[in-house]
């Protein structure tokens, strides 16, 4: 059973927001395409939502003689001071209207404790208080989590680490996420790989209907192409891998992901 976890696609992190992430609008199309054409790949869809009180201690405005992006010691941990963002009930805290949503989506609010920040959708930064996300996933028998959103080097990154540490098979959807900076994003991806978190691109992995594979139904070579035509050589190698046999499907999927992630953009261009 699988879950798509969409992290913090909120107005304050999008273009024009108080803490906007560069090129954040670019994630809307791949996420929406995935949901509109392949929503039935997932047994559960969860959205996280930063939901800070106005007096949150991660806000620079709540510290005398401090400015945005200063670092302080907060309850024994380093804390970056951010501009006010995602304040409860504000426009900035709302899920961006350009994100495709459905009534069945579950929303997890995080960052509600004013004394500690909460990058991860699973728990606060001090690891002492969890959101309801883990219990919801386990209640729905979720074993695999696909994570995307904002920002790759902060909330997406820590959500991926916590998902993996809690025993969920974890995939990071790279082209449906954006980071705050290139350096910290590259480091985050490097660390995720060390923790056996697979990073993949929707243009590679979700180019075909995978529902039969993910829920153990018979796979058909007549599946509808997603973004690239079936004749593409790198994709054909991947399809052939699954057509040989269905035993140990997840292991084969991981190998296929590794193979395809090594293909250059030039090689996969249709």
Percent of the chain residues topping a pLDDT of 70: 74
Which of 155, 160, 169, 207 is catalytic? The answer is 155
Can you give the pLDDT at residue 235? Answer: 47
Higher pLDDT, 11 or 235: 11
* Higher pLDDT, residue 203 or 171: 171
Whether residue 117 lies in the annotated active site: no
For the stretch 218-266, pLDDT in tens is 333 333 333 333 334 444 555 455 444 333 445 555 665 566 555 444 4
Q: What is the pLDDT of residues 41-63, one digit of tens each?
A: 789 999 999 999 999 999 999 99
pLDDT tens-digit series, residues 109-120: 999 999 999 999
Angle at alpha carbon of residue 153, lines to 150 and 154, rounded to 5°: 70
Question: Which CATH code of 1.10.3720.10, 3.40.50.850, 3.40.50.410, 3.40.640.10 fits the domain covering 2-52+88-200?
Answer: 3.40.50.850
Residue 240: per-residue pLDDT: 53
Residues of the chain with CATH 3.40.50.850: 2-52+88-200
Catalytic position from the list 109, 110, 169, 198 = 110
141-187 pLDDT, tens digit per residue, is 999 999 999 999 999 999 999 999 999 999 999 989 999 999 999 99
- pLDDT of 200 reads 79
Question: Which residue has better confidence, 231 or 188?
Answer: 188
What is the pLDDT at residue 158?
98
Helices and strands (DSSP H and E) totals, the chain: 9, 8
Maximum pairwise Cα distance, the chain: 65
At 128, the pLDDT band (50, 70, 90 cuts) reads very high
pLDDT value of residue 63? 96
Q: What value does the mean pLDDT take over residues 192-216? A: 63
DSSP state of 52: B
Q: Is 110 one of the annotated active-site residues of the chain?
A: yes
Q: Which of 8, 124, 153, 162 is catalytic?
A: 8
Considering the chain, what is the average pLDDT of its residues? Answer: 82
Respond yes or no: is residue 155 known to be catalytic.
yes
Q: How confident is the model at residue 204 (pLDDT cuts 50, 70, 90)?
A: low
Burial 169-185 (b: 16+ CB within 10 A, else e): bbbbbbbbbbbbeeeeb
Residue % of the chain over a pLDDT of 90: 66
Burial of 103 (0-12, 13-18, 19+ CB in 10 A): exposed
Question: pLDDT digits over 12-28, tens only?
Answer: 999 999 999 999 999 99
């Amino acid at each position: 059973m699988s879950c798509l976890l969409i992290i913090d696609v909120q107005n304050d992190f999008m273009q024009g927001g108080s803490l906007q992430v560069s090129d954040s609008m670019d994630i809307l199309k791949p996420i929406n395409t995935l949901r509109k054409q392949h929503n039935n790949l997932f047994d559960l869809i969860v959205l996280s939502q930063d939901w800070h009180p106005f007096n949150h201690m991660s806000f620079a405005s709540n510290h005398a003689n401090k400015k945005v992006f200063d670092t302080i010691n907060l309850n024994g941990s380093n804390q970056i001071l951010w501009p006010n963002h995602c304040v409860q009930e504000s426009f900035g805290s709302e899920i961006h209207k350009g994100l495709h949503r459905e009534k069945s989506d579950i929303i997890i609010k995080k960052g509600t404790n004013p004394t500690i920040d909460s990058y991860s959708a699973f728990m606060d930064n001090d690891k002492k208080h969890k959101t309801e996300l883990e219990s919801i996933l386990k209640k729905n028998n979720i074993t695999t989590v696909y994570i995307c959103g904002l920002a790759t080097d902060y909330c997406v990154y820590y959500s991926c680490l916590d998902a993996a540490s809690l025993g969920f098979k974890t995939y990071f959807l790279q082209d449906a996420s954006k980071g705050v900076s290139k350096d910290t994003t590259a480091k985050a991806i490097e660390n995720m790989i060390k923790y056996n978190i697979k990073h993949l691109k929707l243009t590679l992995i979700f180019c075909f209907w995978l529902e039969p594979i993910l829920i153990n139904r018979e796979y058909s070579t007549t599946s509808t192409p997603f973004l690239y035509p079936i004749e593409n050589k790198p994709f054909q190698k991947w399809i052939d891998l699954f057509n040989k046999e269905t035993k140990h499907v997840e292991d084969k999927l991981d190998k296929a992901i590794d193979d395809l992630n090594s293909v250059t953009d030039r090689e996969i261009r249709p």
